[in-house]
Amino acid sequence: MTQRVALVTGASRGIGKAIAEQLGKDGARLLVPSRKEMDLLSNRSIDTYIDALTEPVDILINDAGINRVEDFASYPDRDLEETLQTNLISPIRLTRGLIPGMLRRKYGRIVNVSSIWSIISKPGRLPYSVTKSGLNAFTRSLAVEVAPYNILVNAVAPGYVNTELTRQNNTEQDLDNIRKTIPMQRLAEPEEIARLVSFLCSEENTYLTGQCLLIDGGYTCQ
Ligand SMILES: NC(=O)c1ccc[n+]([C@@H]2O[C@H](COP(=O)([O-])OP(=O)(O)OC[C@H]3O[C@@H](n4cnc5c(N)ncnc54)[C@H](OP(=O)(O)O)[C@@H]3O)[C@@H](O)[C@H]2O)c1
């Protein structure tokens, strides 16, 4: 990936941080905007960040996401709006801002970080599941539109990953029980997700596009 510029959202911690570190090792030049530099809750902030870019972005990783677990019947408006904006609207807007440059240069690799909850669901995760299913649809739709321009668009759908987000929504006891339900008997480490993303946005990937790859230790196969 030498000479390629990669923009990774959500790179301050967790999966996004591991992806940025992996792409850095692969030789990409990194753009890792903090929330202060580009707040995904604000479309104006996204547009301002795109307008201020001085270098072409070849690789885009839409990683940032939130998961507020609450019953649907009493799901607060604010959480609903913030989940839709962060997980679905912001990746679409950011990608729309960067795609014209990729079309001009006839090169691009885009990876959206989805979730197993885009395919299956669990109580309390309705808005999250809606946004991640939407992200899969966005991935497929964009992939077919831009494929003639050598732009490959994929999604990865992790299961349970050892990050702050997982610990925010599950107690230690929950995690012990969850481990027993995963065929691999453990959570994924962020670096394991990062290695898959690295392949998808490398020049080794020449034909795989429009897919949502589940990486969940076999969880959804049961
Ligand atoms: N952890 C899992 O088990 C799991 C499983 C499947 C899918 N995923 C998906 O993987 C992605 C990363 O998850 P994670 O577990 O690594 O999450 P995490 O540890 O909670 O990190 C989330 C990242 O998103 C950023 N972010 C959130 N809201 C933002 C905003 N408004 N503007 C800018 N940045 C914002 C955070 O930045 P700040 O530091 O500024 O808050 C942080 O860098 C998410 O899309 C999540 O849905 C996670």
Query: Helix, strand, or coil here: 30?
Result: strand
Least confident of 53-57, 63-67, 137-141, 167-171: 167-171
Architecture field, domain 5-161+189-217: 3-Layer(aba) Sandwich (3.40)
C-alpha 148 to ligand 1 mean position (Å): 31
Question: What percentage of the chain carries pLDDT values higher than 70?
Answer: 100
**Amino acid 101: pLDDT:** 98
Question: Pocket around ligand 1: residues whose beta carbon is below 6 Å from it?
Answer: 10, 12-16, 35, 39-41, 63-67, 86, 113, 115, 158, 160-161, 163-166
C-alpha 91 to ligand 1 mean position (Å): 13
**What is the DSSP secondary-structure string of 93-139?**
HHHHHHHHHHHHHT-EEEEEE--GGGTS--TT-HHHHHHHHHHHHHH
- Average pLDDT (160-164) is 95
- How do residues 113-146 score in pLDDT, each as one tens digit? 999 999 999 999 999 999 999 999 999 999 999 9
C-alpha 213 to ligand 1 mean position (Å): 18
Neighbour order of strands in the sheet with 5-8: 29-31, 5-8, 59-62, 108-113, 151-158, 212-215
Question: Pocket of ligand 1, candidates 21, 35, 220: which has the most ligand atoms within 8 Å of its Cβ, to mutate?
Answer: 35
Q: Say if residue 148's pLDDT is above 90.
A: yes
**Amino acid 2: pLDDT:** 77
Q: Say if residue 1's pLDDT is above 90.
A: no
Residues with active-site annotation: 128
Domain boundaries, the chain: 5-161+189-217
Question: What percentage of the chain carries pLDDT values higher than 90?
Answer: 97
**Amino acid 3: pLDDT:** 85
**Amino acid 60: pLDDT:** 98
Question: Pocket of ligand 1, candidates 7, 8, 12, 15: which has the most ligand atoms within 8 Å of its Cβ, to mutate?
Answer: 15
User: How many whole angstroms separate alpha carbon 214 and alpha carbon 84?
Assistant: 22
Asked if residues 160 and 189 have their Cβ atoms less than 8 Å apart, the reply is no
Which residue, judged by its Cα, is nearest atom 14 of ligand 1? 14
C-alpha 131 to ligand 1 mean position (Å): 14
